[in-house]
Structure 1
Amino acid sequence: MVCRSKSQLLKSVVFLGVATLILYELVLWRRLSQVSIPTTSAFPWTNNGQPNPATEAEAEVGGPDAHPLHPILDLINEGHEKFARLQAAHSNTIEQAAGRYRERRGRHPPPGFDDWFKAALKKDAVIVEDFFDRIYHDINPFWALDQLELRRRAHSQPEVIRIRNGKVSLVSEDPDRGNQWMQIWAKLVKEIGHLPDLDMAINVMDETRVLVPWEKIDEYVRKERRTRDIFPASEAVSNYTRYADVDFQPEPYDPHWIGGEAHKYWDHVRATCPPDSESRNISSLPSLNSPVKDIHPTEPIDAYTYKGFIRNFTASQDACVQPHLRGLHGTFVESVSMSTTHELLPIFSGSKLPQNNEILIPGAVYLNNDKRYSGGKGIGGAWEGKMEGIMWRGVASGGRNKVDNWWHFQRHRWVQMMNGTTLQEIIAADEAAAPTFTLLPPSVYNVRARRNGFMGSWLATHADVGVVDLMCCPGEVDSRGKRVHTCSYSSPFLNVVKEKPMKEQYAYKYLPDIDGNSFSGRWRGFLRSTSCPLKATVYTEWHDDRLVPWVHFVPFDNTFMDIYAIMEFFLEGHDAQGKRIAEEGSRWASRVLRRDDMLLYTWRLLLEYARVVDPQRDRLAFVGDLVQETI
């Protein structure tokens, strides 16, 4: 053993202390240098935009040093509370179902309600009265019009599914188009059976048709409320009136279709908005050859968001609270076609804007199991085996994109926003690189990749997004006269990529869905898959009341301004939440979005429709459950 003097020992202790202090300072400096603290943040739930795992549990119990939870976690919790309430309202008996109907609708159910309920039980359907709210939203205004006038309006339309004495027939002005959609819907109606006489006029266009001004619809809705009556069971009539039993003169009816104004469609839509809404008094853009930045929002919309993320999905679809959509969505920029009426016409459609007055039925594309939209028999593999990121393929549909308006279309914007190279060019202050969108300041959503300057590489790693056909209008051809998928005016900004079948898309964890000319036919396929579906849309569909945002899918804004923050949340620390939404959505879709469910929805809808056009509608009712009580 070597002995040291006291002075040597003291020197060693001092040296060791100084060295330790220097090492501590170096470690502390290194950690601090890696932390980027923004000077301002609209939604500062934590310094790096993510809840601190060490304090997340403490935050739930309100610890003094806890970081607030990420707002998406709040929205997920709210969603599950709503979903639990929906499930608790399931009806198991005809007495429960009829009682809940009267409580919610202010009327007796229509005749045939008992047969419908028996079929629903036999098909093991989830019977919740709230699931059918859309039917009454669509049908109720028709109670304000004369029954025979409604029959006349429907009868004279060019595309009609006709039911007489239980037999279904088709009337089609265009047999080819009719075979595409009409045959599919007619087949569903035939499967129902035992329906009363009716004429079911069908919209076979992608675009929506009926836009009744707000004041007129408000008048109709008020009148309908005054007709509600739960009258004594002894006064009920149980049989619908056959068309042959009424002196019905099917004279031609002209809805006064308006065409040729697709580039001014916004002005027809805004007339349907409430007088005090933001969009009501804002006209369509005088010129579409203008920068998107002039109308793009600079922050999230308070009317439907919570700390930047969608809380009210219904309001997020509503153009009446989003005047910027007149220049950010193809429906309002210039649709492929236009045939619009301002009169209330009973016509059925697979989707519509919230402002439209068509009667919704399940989209025909959901009924034919085309693997291009459904993905085929498989719904994807296990979550753990999927790729970390989002996948999207599609054509640049949405309307007539032209040399002087293409940057206003939603799918063009989507593809540019998901391109890492484009993002880096924008961040480097090259605004000309992306004419389709405006990048919000980093402080708005506090996305780490954006703050720290590696947004481009981050997107390139996590987003596989591309368009397979730019669909310019008019279409362009090559030197041999063959149509090409590129466009001379948009190709410098958007590359065309190869198609990827739905089955292969299921290999990714996150599947965003974007509007095309109308609703996206892939939505049901995404919901049924084992991936987590994301949705931005201005369109409503038959099933909307059955799905709960943040439980069965992830909603995002139609500007797509929140998509980077949503990606960061799920891809960096919240994989379990993404998996849960994927599994909940798939399981629930297999329960409430089956073909059987679409049949049951259509069946109940047609019972209501047959009643509202019946001469005896004021006393047509199912009261069997009440009669049994008195025996």
Structure 2
Amino acid sequence: MATGTTSNDVKTNREAKQLTASSRLRVNAFSPSIKQGDDSFQDTDHLHRKQQTESFRAQEMGRTAHTMPTRSESGMSKVGWTVVGGLAVLGLFLLLSSGANRYDYTSSPSYLSTSASAYKTATTSMDEVMARCARSGTHHIACKVEHAAELASQLVSRQSRTPQQAVLAYKRRYARAPPRRFEAWVKLAIQHNATIIDDYDQIEVDLGAFRQAGLVGDKLKRRMLEAKLRLPGWELGQVSVVDGQAVVLGPDAGPLSASTLIELLKPVQSIVPDVSVLFNWYAEPRVPHPSAQPASQPFDSLDVSGKDPTSVLGKACPSYHLTPKRSWDSLQPPIDYCQEDRDELGDLHGFLQAPANFHPVNKLVPMLSRSKLSNFADILAPNVCYGHPMYLGYVDKIPWEAKDDSLYWRGTTTGEAQTSATWARGHRHRMLRYVKQLREAASKLATGVEADPFDDIYASNRTVAPSRQSVHVAGNTLPLFDYTDGSVVGALKRLGSETFNVAWNRFVLADEPTMASLMANQVTTDNEDRNEPYKHKFALDLDGQSMSCRFYQLLASSSLVFKQTIWSEYHDDRLIPWIHYVPLDLRVQNNELPMLLDFFIHHPQGQKAASKIASASREWAAATLRPIDVSLYYARLLIEFAELYNPVY
């Protein structure tokens, strides 16, 4: 952004043209006034039950402390599944220990948290922060970066340093004694110099759904057995720990496999009690939060692959959402699907239109998944790719100052079930079509010819339709570039087409008509070196079928990461937007991307802020996103789940 362009000017242009009053999607950097809804949970939230009796609170406080990727991506098949670890029989006995009896959704008071509030809202409103920055002459984006840095510092400073401190912090946070093996976990975490000891609220949210439903102990095991009996084995994996050794049922080929998870669990398996939980190897989540189901209704899995999931997702909307708003919610709230304008949201992301592999179940069942929407009851666990060397790449040895002032992304056409009539609706496709328009517009502003330089570079042997000829192709929901928007035009003149080094590396998951349509309207660059992003100051990360496995590699680099996503992940407790990454709105047509790049490249405050984010994300990844941190999260999750699996009454 040019120094003379004010945030109010940009805000007025963006909001007047693109935003609706009801929309509460990912926060646009140039629209800080978008309403974000309530900052705290409803009183009905199962984690904030203030109505619990004092006697029950005393009872809880007085407890004695106890010493997949998609089938198309991974080649998943029924034949390719195996049991890793050599303890399959022992692993399965935990599930098969009792028969599949009926249960209902009557809440069990002894398993409801009495914590007044497990999630704290921001102590300083964003309006106050912005007002303070305005008085000091700080640009509103640089202001967000500085505020986010303060929040990150607070997150670190409030962590416990000893097991005794961690026990006290746990009791204060959740109003109950910590689970068995908790102190052993804390000692192991401290031994490995873990940064985060106390902030594991996502686990509390995820397991809270089962506590509220009274789905614990034998009921929990019977529900898991019911799922195992009703669903084919290739649909459902399993993670067990038996006598300190992990057992994993799942695909055993490639990095996203049972063997990878076994390796992640090895450093921590000795401190995990005997426990077993289902594991979802699909990329997409599987447990939309269900309404109460009759006890006699059989457990089932729907196949919504390639279909409109709106009805299924809508039925899963409870009165509260299962993804918490955290202390930095004034910077970037999670998407609450149940509160969004679903017509608008449905036009922006492939999963919400036609997911490639979506097999939701009809009852509440404990299942580990890599990501989910706000109204899903899957238990979030780290994707095993986050701990595999192939997805971490090599160390970035290029200093920030030596990198190109450009944005880089390469990927494939995943993210939705593509057809020749619909492929242009997907979130990746919209971003790639949008960036193509930016290159065309930048070329016209510089040379007078609206043409994409990438067409000549990467598709010199074929004809690629320019955006104005393909505006009605394949269900496109993206408007054409608006040359009357003076602020964006000015930014593109300064940036030039070479700033947007974003393209497909290949087309996948497409039949012949779809492939022909893609080829006529898009370019591919072929595969490039995995460390190619390191040459660029800015790296883009986009959802695929679900979350993106490249995220940790990018965060660990010396580049600034732009991330666009609808998904909640396990690490949302410890990654703070605007200091560890820059969030991008799903509505790419609001021109947020070029305005951000212009600010970070050309504005003096932006250059400083960009360098600060790139440095902070690298340091944070080295401290909190190591493979051992992934292992420790699994251990903490399994230890907490074991309290539901084998409760002490």
Structure-2-length-normalised TM-score: 0.68
Give the equivalent residue in structure 1 for 2:315: 271
Moved more, 87-96 or 431-440: 431-440
Q: Distance in 2 between matches of 1:39 and 1:339?
A: 45
CA contact (8 A) 2:248 2:261 kept: no
Give the equivalent residue in structure 1 for 2:340: 321
**1:109-146, Cα deviation, whole Å (9 max, x unpaired):** 0011111111111111113422x111111111111214
Give the equivalent residue in structure 1 for 2:361: 341
Shift of 1:154: 2.8
Shift of 1:176: 5.1
**1:452-506, Cα deviation, whole Å (9 max, x unpaired):** 4x83884512110100122253257xxxxxxxxx821122221111322231211
Q: Distance in 2 between matches of 1:81 and 1:60?
A: 14
1:119 alignment partner, one of 188, 193, 218: 188
1:137 aligns with 2:156: no
1:147 aligns with 2:217: yes
Moved more, 582-591 or 135-144: 135-144
Quickly say closer, same or farther: Cα 1:71–1:414, change in 2 above 3 A.
same
1:397 aligns with 2:399: no
Give the equivalent residue in structure 1 for 2:278: 201
Identity %: 24
Aligned residue pairs: how many? Answer: 486
User: Secondary structure of 1:583's partner?
Assistant: helix
2:243 alignment partner, one of 132, 145, 165: 165
User: Secondary structure of 2:148's partner?
Assistant: helix
Quickly say closer, same or farther: Cα 1:357–1:328, change in 2 above 3 A.
same
Q: Which amino acid aligns with 1:529?
A: S
Shift of 1:261: 5.5
Q: Distance in 2 between matches of 1:36 and 1:148?
A: 63
Q: Distance in 1 between matches of 2:299 and 2:530?
A: 40
Q: Distance in 1 between matches of 2:613 and 2:352?
A: 32
Q: Which amino acid aligns with 1:99?
A: L
Q: Distance in 2 between matches of 1:455 and 1:115?
A: 55
Q: Distance in 2 between matches of 1:261 and 1:505?
A: 32
1:411 aligns with 2:428: yes
| 1:562-573 equivalence runs, <5 A | 562-573=592-603
Moved more, 86-95 or 190-199: 190-199
Quickly say closer, same or farther: Cα 1:553–1:447, change in 2 above 3 A.
farther
1:471 aligns with 2:547: no
Give the equivalent residue in structure 2 for 1:582: 614
Moved more, 84-93 or 456-465: 456-465
Quickly say closer, same or farther: Cα 1:413–1:569, change in 2 above 3 A.
same
**Which of 1 and 2 has greater Rg?**
1
1:518 aligns with 2:570: no
Give the equivalent residue in structure 2 for 1:292: none
**1:509-534, Cα deviation, whole Å (9 max, x unpaired):** 00010001110000011111111111
Quickly say closer, same or farther: Cα 1:501–1:270, change in 2 above 3 A.
farther
Shift of 1:39: 12
Quickly say closer, same or farther: Cα 1:509–1:273, change in 2 above 3 A.
same
Q: Distance in 2 between matches of 1:254 and 1:381?
A: 57
Q: Distance in 1 between matches of 2:567 and 2:4?
A: 42
1:191 aligns with 2:267: yes
**1:132-176, Cα deviation, whole Å (9 max, x unpaired):** 11111111111121421211333463321232233333434x655
Give the equivalent residue in structure 2 for 1:460: 497
Aligned residues: CA RMSD: 3.5
Give the equivalent residue in structure 1 for 2:460: none
| 1:280-319 equivalence runs, <5 A | 311-316=330-335, 318=337
Quickly say closer, same or farther: Cα 1:607–1:467, change in 2 above 3 A.
same
Quickly say closer, same or farther: Cα 1:261–1:76, change in 2 above 3 A.
same
Q: Distance in 2 between matches of 1:423 and 1:259?
A: 42
Shift of 1:600: 1.2
Give the equivalent residue in structure 2 for 1:481: none
User: Secondary structure of 1:201's partner?
Assistant: strand
Quickly say closer, same or farther: Cα 1:149–1:392, change in 2 above 3 A.
same
Give the equivalent residue in structure 2 for 1:20: none
User: Secondary structure of 1:488's partner?
Assistant: helix
Give the equivalent residue in structure 1 for 2:300: 256
Quickly say closer, same or farther: Cα 1:313–1:322, change in 2 above 3 A.
farther
Give the equivalent residue in structure 1 for 2:45: none
Gaps of 5+ in 1: 1-33, 51-58, 218-251, 278-303, 305-309, 477-485, 619-631
Structure-1-length-normalised TM-score: 0.70
Shift of 1:424: 6.3
CA contact (8 A) 2:184 2:271 kept: no
Give the equivalent residue in structure 1 for 2:288: 211
Q: Which amino acid aligns with 1:437?
A: L
Quickly say closer, same or farther: Cα 1:108–1:395, change in 2 above 3 A.
same
Q: Which amino acid aligns with 1:339?
A: H
1:369 aligns with 2:420: no
Quickly say closer, same or farther: Cα 1:347–1:253, change in 2 above 3 A.
farther
Shift of 1:93: 1.6
Give the equivalent residue in structure 2 for 1:437: 478
Give the equivalent residue in structure 2 for 1:28: none
2:179 alignment partner, one of 105, 110, 114: 110
CA contact (8 A) 1:259 1:339 kept: yes
Shift of 1:602: 0.9
Quickly say closer, same or farther: Cα 1:86–1:442, change in 2 above 3 A.
farther
Shift of 1:186: 2.5
User: Secondary structure of 1:602's partner?
Assistant: helix
Shift of 1:569: 1.1
Q: Which amino acid aligns with 1:313?
A: Q
User: Secondary structure of 1:500's partner?
Assistant: coil
Q: Distance in 2 between matches of 1:430 and 1:591?
A: 44
2:637 alignment partner, one of 581, 602, 605: 605
Q: Distance in 1 between matches of 2:560 and 2:349?
A: 24
User: Secondary structure of 2:240's partner?
Assistant: strand
Shift of 1:355: 2.2
Quickly say closer, same or farther: Cα 1:362–1:475, change in 2 above 3 A.
farther
Give the equivalent residue in structure 1 for 2:565: 537
Gaps of 5+ in 2: 15-28, 31-130, 451-465
CA contact (8 A) 1:161 1:182 kept: no
